Each structure stands twice: as C-alpha cells, then as structure tokens.
Structure 1
C-alpha cells in the first residue's frame, strides 16, 4: 500500500488543534473539538468581513502552501511585505527597503489565538468565540545584535518596594521560568504609576506598550461588542496583572481595562518584557530540549511532543543530603537530572535503609509511582548539589503517553533489582547478627 500524503492545510489545522488540546487538557474531547472548530469557523467569517486578505485562512490557496494566506509583496523590490508592529498597518514597502520598521508576518495576525483562563494568570479572560490558543509567542523578531546592545532601564526602589514587587510577580506563571538575574532585571525595570478613578489604562484595539502589575486599587476589564454593548470580563480587587497578551503575541489589545478607584500600577515597558521574558522562555526551551534529548526513553517522542514536555518543565535545586522524594509520599511528578548525583534508597520493615541505585546526569526518577498511581516506593536523596527538571503529574499523563510502555519495562527491571538488593541486605544483616553472636560466645 502506497504512503498517504497529508495535505499541508490539514497538517496546519490538526497541529493547531493538537497544541490547544494538549495545553488545555479538556475532560470532554468531543465537546472541546466541536467548540474549537466552531470558533475557527466564526473567526474566519469575521476575518472575511474585514477584507479579502484573510479570505483563505485555512485553504490550500495560500502562497506558501501552509494553509494561511501570508503573502503580499513590496512594490520596490518584490519581497514579501509584513505588517508593522508599531502602527499595525500593511506597508507598501518591505522591511529591507524601510530598514527602520519592525515587522510582523501577516499570518501572526490571521492565526486564531487563545490563552489559559485568566483566573490562573491574572489577565482578562478570552470570550468563548476566541477560545483557540496561539502558542508561538515569538511573533515579533528579536534581533540578536539589538539584544546584545540593549540595556534594560533601572528605576530606584526602596527595599520594601522591591520585596513586594518580587512577591507579586514570582507567583505569575509567565515569570516562573526566569533565572534570578532575569527576575532582577524585570523588577529593576518596573516603575510605579499613579492612576485615578475612571482612567482607562488600556484600550481595546490599541497597540500594547506596557504590562501592568497591580500595587493598589480596583480595576475592571471589559470589551465592546460589534453591536456596541459592553461586556464585563473580570474585576481586579487590589491584586492581579494584565496587558501581557498584546506584548507576547504582537496584536492589538483584546479588551479595555479601567480603574474603578484611585490606585497604583507597577509598569513594565514592551522592550524589557520581550527581551527578558520572551528570550528567557526561548532559552529555557532550548536548554530543556537538550536535556530531554539525552534521555533514551524519550526517543519515542516526536520533536513536537518533546517540545511540549520541555515547555512544561520547572527547574528545581537541591543541596547535598536534601531529600528530593520521601518514601510513602504522594506522587506529584517525575524528575530529570540535569546536574549532580542522587541516591535511591528503600527503608525496610526493620527500619534499615537499603541503597537501590545511584543516578547521575541524564537519568530520571519518580515516574513509577505515577504509572502505578501509588505512593512513592523509595526515597531519593541528593548525593551532591543537584539541579533537576520537574514534570508535574498532570503534564506527565498528558504528554508522555508514547513513553509509558518503555517506562513499564523499566518498572519490571526496577522491581527485580529492588528485590535483589533487599535480599542481599537481609543476608548481610543475618551475617552481621551471626558474627555478633559468635563474638559473645
């Protein structure tokens, strides 16, 4: 039987849907699929009303064969024209000829987008008709030379302000992947802005220049529908953040946010946000991809599947002698060793510790309890200073399906090895007892 060639347009649609499904992890697959493609259809209708440019959003009529109509050409040199990220207009001259304009591919404006529930990330939630996710947050190119020459702004703050701001942003998912020096850059670059009641902080449809973290005051996020009706999305009562979506995806503001009372907002400029947060996320992905590719078990994953795992990892550090896993605890995830050495041990019924294994860079542990859905069967202790990448249980169940058969095989080997080590420990203990008795005769 000949090989079946999958059309690029179908591959594009299925890839977008798969990415959205993996990140959202819905309980009802059929309902999620229905809502997703219904939203795509509605989005396409809306785009058609705004001009012929987006008419073939998901068709094979696109110039580049990806299923997304992205091509318009420069009147001077014939190169592809991009939409300007500053004024959000399609120029007649390409970025090579203008040189000064920052450009964004038209497909970045055409692709459907979604984000997690705002209750998790402290931003205004998307309405149902926009619930499809955009995953590539690097829609605006980050020039390597500019990034090296760029120096982040620094605004003076008291120690109390610095501590408070650090506590406000460290809980936000967006910043969790940043290294300590990157977090320091973010905090140093934020300045405090006073707002008054009824002031519109961000306006729907406008470009995005700042990200905001609430220091004090109440705020309301809302949208105006095509019919002119106002729909309230969420209220912020003294805490939260908003404004990152327009900066991440280089699109106009999705909603408006108005101050309901006088207050203060910590404000971060677009350049610092993108060069620190976005590049931090890129570095994290590249670093974790390198780590994951060193794990033989994960060779069963496709590049795309491995990328999803990489984006789900959290870095954790442990010092020599510190317990990473405690025997009998609930299983909350698995670990990949990046740097250092750990000892796997089992405490038997006599209270004696039996060393089962020693693991180093490129090894992993903690997956067996997740597969068996049982408590931890052994303890893991740092034998040196250790850096690990941690994958939470829900992400494990969602992303590592192709590897479970290999893990199950390892589980059988592990059980046999544990039994052998326990048997040997029991023999050693009996010999010690015999020698002790003989020494007293």
Structure 2
C-alpha cells in the first residue's frame, strides 16, 4: 500500500478536480444519500447546468446567478471574494481548538450541547471536538425583522438556534422573495456558504425575538472539514485491519469510512442487548468487548471477546432477527458504528463472508451449550 501511495503523490492533480471532488465528498457527508452513484450523477448534472447558466450570465453581464437548489460552484467563473479562500485540511497543521473561548453558564453549555449533537455535520466529532465547538460559539440576540444573513453576501458565521422563529427566503429572477423554510425554536443554518466557498444562497430573517449561537467561519471550517478529513483517514486505517473488509474495492472503503460514526463506552456499559432489534454493526477501534449469552436458566455465559480490529452485531442484520447475545465494554471502549441502512448499502460485497460465518458461530455454541441454542448472532 505504501508503494501505491508514493505513486499517487507524484501525480499532478488539477486544482479544479480537487475542488470538485471535495464538494462532492462534503455534499455526500452532509446528505448521506441512499445511493452514492445516483447522487454523483445528479451532482454532476446540476454542476453542468449551473456552469452553463453561469456562462450565459457572464456573456450577458448579469451578476446574479445563485440558485438555492444548485450545487455550490467554487470552481465556476464567478469571481471569488476575499472570504472565499480554499481550505485544505491536509495542509493545515494548526490545532483544531479555538483560540478564543466564549464563556457560558453550565445551563447554556448543556442546552447548546443538546442542540449541536443533533446537527448532522457534527456527528463525526469526538467529545473534545464537540467541546471546541461549544467553546467557540458566541451568543447573538436578535429582534423581530433582523436580517441574519442575506443572499449573495459572503459567509461569515454558522448559526444554531437557541430560541426564536426564522424564515429562509430565496430571491427569484424577478426580484421577488420565495419562502423556502421556517425554523421554529430549533435548527441551524449558514453552513453551506462556509463549507463550499460560495455566497449565501438564501436570506434568513427573524420573525420573532430570539437568541442564536454563532461560530466564526474559520473555526467552523477547521473543525468540520478537518475532522471529516481525519475521520476518513482514521477509518481507512481501521478498515485495513478488518479481514472481512478486504473484499471491498478502494472507493467502497472510502464510502464506508465516511458512513462510520464514533461511539464511546465506559467499563461494563451495555453496547447491544440480547433480544433487541439489530440497528447496526460495530467495529472495535480501542479496547475490548465481551459477548455474553443468557441461557435458558438465566445464567449469562461469556462466549467471545473481541479486541481492536474485530467487529460484532452484523449477523442480526444478515438474518433479520433480534440480537441473540449481549455485548459489554471491558474498560473504556471506542467503536465505529454503521447503521443498518448504510450496512445494506455499503457491505453487499461482504455479505457472503458474513453468511459463511454463521456456521462457525453455531459450532462454537454447540461446544458451549451442547446445542445451537437458537442463536443467530453472538457477535
């Protein structure tokens, strides 16, 4: 693998290709479409239409060409503003943490943590990075009628709603405004202009008094883009040590790395419970987990122990039956979680391997219980 990487680094990859692929990747991370190929086709189709529109507008010297539905065009012929510099997470050696910490009460931190953890683009952050996000946010009081962001302006901040009602409008070609979304005391906005180096794609107005939490664009991009980059690199390394995943092609491994979500457990925490429906599978990143089966007499018997590079929970997804074993953390444990939808979408090439493993697990149970014990998932 090291030989391949050396060859790749010698290739001269055009900046335009880098930017297009970065946009496609971030779009995929944000939207998590059910089919990556269909998503890519739609992405490039919209990109082509957007570029054709931009060229026509350039010829007619019209300045307004933003489209709320079109993919961001960092690589188009639109002149970039001073805010729209390219950010390459691979070349950023600075620390992720914010240089300025805005003080907050414990109550404010708790409420903000609850709001932030539900935002998709922050799902891949570890606890330290989440604390950096909360530290870096500052409050902004708003009044009815305030314009928070204006379509066509440079992106300066990302916003999380603490309270208040906000409406998003898009300016049509006839200069009329079309209401496209209403936020009521929850949600976030402003991330697309920061992620994609594009002007604001919509106008956000406050229709009530309220409170927003804002984050500076530079800190936002460093935390979000750099964490996404590091997450992919980290999970690609994890995938390399899982024998089953060697059946995946390179692009399939990258898609899998993007779909994995980190989860953390303390000693004796129950990760999956016998009898529960299968909601996903797990890859062990750090620590050890114990697999226990409850016998007919109610006794819990340890049937397996899984360390880094191992995985569990897959057979309930293959057999479409409930969990037939419980898994507990032994000490501090970090796992990468793959939900059932992503499992079905991404691990098709590994399905036959997982089905073959069912026989091995059943033989193990015969040795322990003297029968298969109706177990279909001891992992």
Which of 170, 174, 181 aligns to 1:227? It is 174
Contact 2:98 2:135 survives alignment (8 Å): no
| Distance in 1 of aligned mates of 2:109 and 2:47 | 43
Distance 1:399 1:186 in 2: 30
1:195–1:373 Cα change, 3 Å: same
What's the counterpart of residue 3 of structure 1? none
Aligned equivalents of 1:39, 1:152: Cα separation in 2: 38
Aligned to 1:218: 165
Determine if the alignment matches structure 1 residue 305 to structure 2 residue 252. Answer: yes
Question: How far off is 1:332 after superposition?
Answer: 0.7
Q: Which moved more, 1:355-364 or 1:293-302?
A: 355-364
Distance 2:251 2:358 in 1: 26
> 2:118 matched to 1:171?
yes
Shift of 1:174: 1.8
Per-residue deviation, 1:87: 5.6
Q: Are 1:181 and 2:190 matched, yes or no? A: no
CA apart distance, 1:40: 5.0
1:45 is the counterpart of 2:52: yes
Task: Classify 1:152/1:69 alpha carbon distance in 2 versus 1 (closer, same or farther; 3 Å).
Answer: closer
Structure 1 16/319 Cα, relative in aligned 2: closer, same or farther at 3 Å? closer
**Cα shift readout 1:341-373 (whole Å, capped 9, x = no counterpart):** 222232232333343222211110100010111
Aligned residues: 340
Contact 1:212–1:267 under 8 Å retained in 2: yes
Deviation at 1:402, TM superposition (A): 1.1
Partner residue of 2:32 out of 18, 23, 28: 23
Q: Is the 8 A contact 2:98 2:136 kept in 1?
A: no
Higher-RCO chain (CA-CA 8 Å, sequence separation at least 6): 2
Q: 1:154 to 1:385 in 2, by over 3 A?
A: closer
For structure 1, the 5+ residue unaligned runs are 1-11, 53-67, 73-81, 89-102, 105-139, 427-441
Q: 2-side partners of 1:141 and 1:162: how far apart?
A: 30
In the TM superposition, what whole-angstrom CA distance separates every residue of 1:138-174 from its partner, at most 9, and x where no partner exists? xx22485672498521222223222222222122122
Structure whose CA Rg is larger: 1
For residues 254 and 33 of structure 2, the distance between their equivalents in structure 1, rounded to whole angstroms, comes to 16
The correspondence for 1:154, drawn from 101, 104, 108, is 101
DSSP 3-state at the match of 2:32: helix
TM-score (normalizing by structure 2): 0.78
Report the counterpart of residue 297 of structure 2 in structure 1: 350
Offset of 1:396 from its aligned partner?
0.5
Q: Determine the C-alpha separation between the residues in 2 that align with 1:159 and 1:367.
A: 39
Q: Does 1:314 align with 2:314?
A: no
Q: Distance in 2 between matches of 1:48 and 1:173?
A: 34
1:175 positional shift = 1.8
- Unaligned runs of at least 5 residues, structure 2: 1-19, 60-72, 374-379
Moved more, 223-232 or 294-303: 223-232
List per-residue Cα deviations over 1:61-119 (Å, max 9, x = no partner): xxxxxxx99699xxxxxxxxx9645266xxxxxxxxxxxxxx44xxxxxxxxxxxxxxx
SS class of match (2:180): strand
Alignment-derived partner of residue 231 in structure 2:
284
For 1:179-258, list aligned pairs within 5 A.
179-258=126-205
Three-state SS of the structure 2 residue aligned to 1:152 is coil
- Kept after mapping to 2: 8 A contact 1:345/1:354: yes
RMSD of the alignment, in Å? 3.6
Corresponding residue for residue 86 of structure 1: 82
